[in-house]
Amino acid sequence: MGWKLAILNTVGTSILSNLEGSVKDCELGGKKLSQTLCQLLSKRPSRASPTDPLQEEFNKRATPSDPVFREVLEIVSGDPGRFSAELNSLIAFFNSLPARHSVDEVEVYLYPTDTGTARFCANIINEVIREHGSKLFGITKVTPYEPIVVKGFGIGPAFFSEGLVELVDKYARLIVSKARQGFKVVVNATAGFKPETTYTALIALMSCAWRVIYMHESFREVVELPILPIGIRQRYLDELGKVGNGAPRYVLAQQGVDVDDLLERGLVEERDGVVRPKEWVRKLLEVINEC
């Protein structure tokens, strides 16, 4: 019996940046593009900040019913490895699997950053996989699921308070769930903003992921990151256990808990003398215990 793989893939805006660098005089490979797409690409949407009005423009166009979406979909479908870093790395990963490893089933979960441009790109990738996934990956059964947006993912410092909670809920829990269902979980951390993808890789290593892959920009090859036995130090597990759902600082001090150290590491918060674990820490501990 062959393997079942669940691919969790971060998504950035490589499709747009590659189009921006390839289109000359509103032409791509000798073919004239629509004026609307040319105008949008001239604004360099791949570099647009999260608050740029272009984000809403691309968010509205992130649907197969939109003519610009269909135009970009046709371009990417024609050469997915060239225009999408996400698809390029996945194709390379499947090509790198030894022939002795047969894969019967693949599920793909896309995680775009919380911007209109990334949603647009994620939906393009989703459609390409839905229409051509079996041929691209050489697997008979390939199922892409609706892209999963992590609130706050990629929009700035707020991510590290609000977004981490969602990352654990929507990302780490899925890793655990699919692993329990007998899937080998592969995390592709090639695309997206680097601070966020770093955290996705770390959380994958701390949960039940089978592989973490990355397309190395210099070597143009997929690199499999070692699955290090990363975890939270026992000392902090013990101290967080004493914190529980919340405890007065003076009580924790009597128990030998270094509250200031926990605060400096961003693991807890303190209000009115009561120390509580950060919500994302509490959720992560729950997930780790399920592996």
Contact 236, 243 (CB under 8 A): no
Please give, one letter per residue, the 3-state secondary structure of 68-103. HHHHHHHHHHHCHHHHCHHHHHHHHHHHHCCCCCCE
Pairing of strands 3-11, 27-28: unpaired
Those residues whose C-beta lies under 8 Å from the C-beta of residue 68, and which sit 6 or more positions away, are 34, 36, 37, 40, 61
Contact 87, 136 (CB under 8 A): yes
Q: What is the pLDDT of residues 54-113, one digit of tens each?
A: 999 999 999 999 999 999 999 999 999 999 999 999 999 999 887 657 899 999 999 998
The whole-angstrom separation of Cα 188 and Cα 207 is 15
Q: Is the pLDDT of residue 230 over 60?
A: yes
CB neighbourhood size of 121 (10 A) = 33
8 versus 227: which is more confidently predicted? 8
| Phi-psi label, residue 266: left if phi above 0, alpha if psi -120 to 50, beta otherwise | left
- What pTM value is reported for the model? 0.88
The whole-angstrom separation of Cα 95 and Cα 224 is 13
Residue 260 burial (C-beta neighbours within 10 Å; 0-12, 13-18, 19+): exposed
At residue 229 the predicted structure's pLDDT band, cuts being 50, 70 and 90, is confident
- Go through the domains of the chain in sequence order and give each one's CATH number: 3-225 (3.40.50.10770), 234-290 (1.10.10.1690)
Helix crossing, 53-60 with 116-137: angle to 10°? 40
User: CA-based angle 265:269:272, to the nearest 5?
Assistant: 145
Q: What local confidence, expressed as pLDDT, does residue 13 receive?
A: 94
Q: What is the pLDDT of residues 109-138, one digit of tens each?
A: 999 988 999 999 999 999 999 999 999 999
Q: Is the pLDDT of residue 7 over 60?
A: yes
Q: What is the pLDDT of residues 185-196, one digit of tens each?
A: 999 988 766 777
Strands across the sheet containing 274-277? 247-248, 274-277, 268-271
